[in-house]
Amino acid sequence: MNGTLIERGSSRSSWAFGPSGRHRDTLLLLGPCVAYLIVFSVFPLLYSLRLSLTNLTGSSTSGQFVGLENYRDIFTDPHFWGAAGTTALMVGSSVAIALVLGTALALFFGLNLRGSSIVRAVITVPMLITPIVVGVMWRALLNPDWGIVNWAIGRVGLPAINWLGSTDTALKTLVMVDVWQWTPFVFVIVFARLQSLPVEIFEAAQVDGAHRLAQLRWITLPLLAPAIALAAIIRGIDAFRSFDLVYGLSYGGPARVTTTLSFLDYQSGFDFQRYGFAAAMAYVMVVILVIATTVLLRLVQVRREDAVQ
Amino acid sequence: MSAMRRIVGRSIAYVVLLLIGLVGIAPFLYLLVLSFKRRIDIISEVPPTLHFDWAAIQANYNEIINYQGILTSLVNSVIVVGISTFLALVIGTPAAYAFSRLQFRGRDTWASTILSFRFMPAVAVAVPIYLLMKAIGLTDTYPGLILPYVAFSIPLVVWILIGFFDEIPTDLDDAARVDGCSRFQVLTRIMLPIMRPGLVVAAMFGAIFIWNEFLVALFVINSPEHSTITLTAATLVSAQRPIDWNIAAATGVVTVIPILLFSFVVQKYIVRGITSGAVR
């Protein structure tokens, strides 16, 4: 009785049934979803944990329990540390550049030029496109022999660049293509926030005679900060786990300079069929992801009401 | 003088706008142009001319249709994406409704746990899912792809839909409840018709995600007859040394055209989907 009364007073909704009906509703509505995820997401993850403690490979029918051997192998593998460094470089620079460009784009589109909505629609497309195809497409654009990019930079008198063929440039090229595909994502989130800001703030600043740049520095950017922080975290996680773009663009090469953790893990699992080892590396990745996300969320303190405009 | 400055400023802004649009779309146009060229022309015509030879276009697209089995892959993708998206909506919509309307212990924890699966690295689950599907004999079948794809898209669908449910006033629920509807009836009879835009957005993002997925397909599918379009595009390019660029370009075009069409049709919802799916 008591429970029903309290519930009726709560803000979100009222209940015609008592608590038991409520539980049944929750179970009925949420149960299938939770059950499905347990079977097809949680179970594979747990199964993978067990797998990471075995030496199962594609050619063995059943793996033997080897304890933490795979983890030891991973941490003593120079390829792992190489890939970890590559991943840190790639994620850090790709996210940083996309944030700067995405925010700049949002401010630019904030001018509301006539016809800009069409361009806005056009630039949301890259992030929806199959990453594999994006990789292949850029391989054509950047082809050292006949690609149009080298032709264009030759026309303005610059020397040709061996974008994907040289160990000096391949990782930078990967970052460039990743930035091309994902800057729109940052843009969309920051722009949504920008448009939700009340006009009065800017009007007041103008009345107070604030200079354009001062207004940007002291009013606009601080107000956009929650959206930028959120875009940074999501982009960081996605860049960390992304793998298709590397597959399509550079297949980890040349000389492993674009081999990220995701790609190395894929190779261990698919090319070398070392299932136990691959599962262990996947777990290392998940742990890095969880720790990084937790720390980042603490650092930036994204408050939900800020983020949701 | 100041009018002059304004005009110059405007012109510069429009040039920048044009350049932004060009950077966004030119790569696709280049791919399209390459797919219309002969193998030899791609190497010899730099930059490619806009002179097209109908026979070359036909030859390229005939080859991917007849020899690379692209039509089969397209049909496979449509089947897998269609069924997976539908199932994800059927399972995800009631869950999103519960998160938006019901008060229960640990609601926020459950909700963010479900969201966190959106961030799971595909490489972390590809091997266990492959072994699981092998154990129950579903490798190289549609269900072998559909079952994990539904799980992948549920978090996305749930989080997009919670946003849409939150916007519908609870008075509607209450009125229907007073009229004797059960929770489930409120959902199916009252909410679903109002929720159509939300369902479209959720379906669209789920569908694009599944259309683009290829790592799990790489593990689970091992015959061209069951290959999805993205998997076909990937294997075509990675298997060839050197690549036949006219064929690779044509495959790329066929792979992305459905996404392009789709995204232009539902353009007004795209921003909504990204912000509600991501910004929560």
- Of B24, B40, B64, which marks where a domain is finished? B64
pTM of the model: 0.87
The backbone torsions φ and ψ at residue A54, rounded to the nearest 5 degrees and listed phi first, read: -120, 170
CATH number of the CATH domain containing B166: 1.10.3720.10
pLDDT value, residue B77:
94
Q: Which of A215, A217, A221, A218 is nearest to A202 (CA)?
A: A215
Same-domain status, B229 and B96: yes
Q: What is the dihedral of CA A164, A167, A172, A175, to 10 degrees?
A: 70
On whether any CB of chain B is under 8 Å from the CB of A304, the answer is yes
pLDDT value, residue A111:
86
- Of B64, B83, B106, which marks where a domain is finished? B64
Same-domain status, B7 and B138: no
Tell me the chain A residues in contact with residue B20 when contact means C-beta distances shorter than 8 Å: 105, 108, 119, 123
Size (chain A), residues: 309
- Token look-up 């799990």 returns B216
- Of B64, B87, B106, which marks where a domain is finished? B64
Contact B117, B110 (CB under 8 A): no
pLDDT at A117 over 50: yes
Report the residue of A24, A132, A177 to disrupt the B interface, i.e. the one with the largest count of B CBs within 10 Å: A132
The backbone torsions φ and ψ at residue B226, rounded to the nearest 5 degrees and listed phi first, read: -110, 5
Same-domain status, B195 and B232: yes
Mention every residue, 6+ apart, whose C-beta is less than 8 A from residue B106.
none
Asked, as a colleague might, if the bond just before B128 is cis with ω within 30 of 0, I would say: no
pLDDT value, residue A192:
87
What value of ipTM does the predicted structure carry? 0.88
- Residue B265: exposure state from Cβ atoms within 10 A (0-12, 13-18, ≥19): exposed
What's the mean pLDDT in A31-53?
91
What's the mean pLDDT in A134-155?
91
- Residue A137: exposure state from Cβ atoms within 10 A (0-12, 13-18, ≥19): buried
Same-domain status, B13 and B127: no
Could you report the per-residue pLDDT of A166-186, keeping only the tens digit for each? 888 999 999 999 999 999 999
If one counts every other C-beta atom within 10 angstroms of the C-beta of residue A228, the result is 19
On whether any CB of chain B is under 8 Å from the CB of A270, the answer is yes
Residue A112 pLDDT class (50, 70, 90 cuts):
confident
Q: Which of A243, A279, A139 is nearest to B212 (CA)?
A: A243
β-strand partners of B273: none
CA distances from A132 to A213, A269, B231 (A): 40, 19, 9
Residue A115 Rama label (left phi>0; alpha psi -120 to 50; beta): left
Residue B219 pLDDT class (50, 70, 90 cuts):
very high
> Do the chains contact at A266 and B215, CB–CB below 8 Å?
yes
Domain that holds residue B150: 69-278
The alpha-helical segments, DSSP class H, found in chain A are 2-9, 19-37, 43-51, 69-75, 78-109, 116-123, 131-141, 148-155, 170-196, 199-207, 212-215, 221-241, 244-249, 261-266, 275-300, 304-307
Contact B277, B156 (CB under 8 A): yes
Q: What is the rounded CA–CA span in Å between residue B238 and residue B84?
A: 27
pLDDT at A210 over 90: no
| Portion of chain B with pLDDT greater than 90, in percent | 37
Same-domain status, B45 and B86: no
Report the residue of B110, B123, B136, B266 to disrupt the A interface, i.e. the one with the largest count of A CBs within 10 Å: B123
Could you report the per-residue pLDDT of A84-105, keeping only the tens digit for each? 999 999 999 999 999 999 999 9
What's the mean pLDDT in B172-187?
84
Same-domain status, B59 and B172: no
- Of the candidates A124, A132, A265, the beta carbon closest to that of B233 is on A132
pLDDT value, residue B277:
57
pLDDT at B68 over 80: no
Ordered by where they begin, the domains of chain A are 73-307 (1.10.3720.10)
Same-domain status, B114 and B187: yes
> Do the chains contact at B271 and A243, CB–CB below 8 Å?
no
| Number of domains observed in the structure of chain B | 2
Same-domain status, B171 and B227: yes
Could you report the per-residue pLDDT of B71-124, keeping only the tens digit for each? 899 999 999 999 999 999 999 999 999 998 888 888 888 888 888 888 888 888
Q: How far is B215 from chain A (nearest CA, A)?
A: 8
Q: Taking the mean position of all CA atoms in its chain, how far away is CA B205?
A: 5
Q: What is the rounded CA–CA span in Å between residue A232 and residue B272?
A: 19
pLDDT value, residue B1:
59
Could you report the per-residue pLDDT of A243-297, keeping only the tens digit for each? 899 998 988 878 899 999 999 999 998 888 989 999 999 999 999 988 888 887 7
The backbone torsions φ and ψ at residue A63, rounded to the nearest 5 degrees and listed phi first, read: -85, 155
Q: Taking the mean position of all CA atoms in its chain, how far away is CA B19?
A: 26
If one counts every other C-beta atom within 10 angstroms of the C-beta of residue A212, the result is 10
Residue B69 Rama label (left phi>0; alpha psi -120 to 50; beta): left
Q: Which of A92, A237, A91, A47 is nearest to B115 (CA)?
A: A237
- Residue B169: exposure state from Cβ atoms within 10 A (0-12, 13-18, ≥19): exposed
- Of the candidates A13, A132, A231, the beta carbon closest to that of B234 is on A132
- Residue A77: exposure state from Cβ atoms within 10 A (0-12, 13-18, ≥19): middle
Q: What is the rounded CA–CA span in Å between residue A99 and residue A101?
A: 6
If one counts every other C-beta atom within 10 angstroms of the C-beta of residue A274, the result is 21
Give the helix/strand (H/E) hosting B35.
helix B2-35
Residue B241 pLDDT class (50, 70, 90 cuts):
low
Q: What angle do CA A279, B231, B136 make, to 5 degrees?
A: 55
Report the residue of B37, B127, B159, B243 to disrupt the A interface, i.e. the one with the largest count of A CBs within 10 Å: B127
Same-domain status, B59 and B74: no
Three-state DSSP class for residue A54: strand
Size (chain B), residues: 280
> Do the chains contact at A266 and B255, CB–CB below 8 Å?
no
Q: Average pLDDT over chain A, rounded to whole?
A: 84
pLDDT value, residue A15:
45
Highest mean pLDDT, choosing among A184-198, B39-53, B139-153, B242-256: B139-153
Tokens for A305, please give them: 């009401």
Same-domain status, B133 and B27: no
DSSP label of B119: G
More confident residue, A212 or B16: B16
Tokens for A148, please give them: 């149009």
Same-domain status, B94 and B162: yes
The nearest alpha carbon in chain A to B26 belongs to A141
Alpha carbon distance, N-terminus to C-terminus of chain B: 48
Report A:41-60 residues touching B (Cβ under 8 A): 41, 43-45, 47-48, 51
Same-domain status, B55 and B92: no
Residue B51 pLDDT class (50, 70, 90 cuts):
confident
What's the mean pLDDT in B48-55?
83
| Portion of chain A with pLDDT greater than 70, in percent | 89
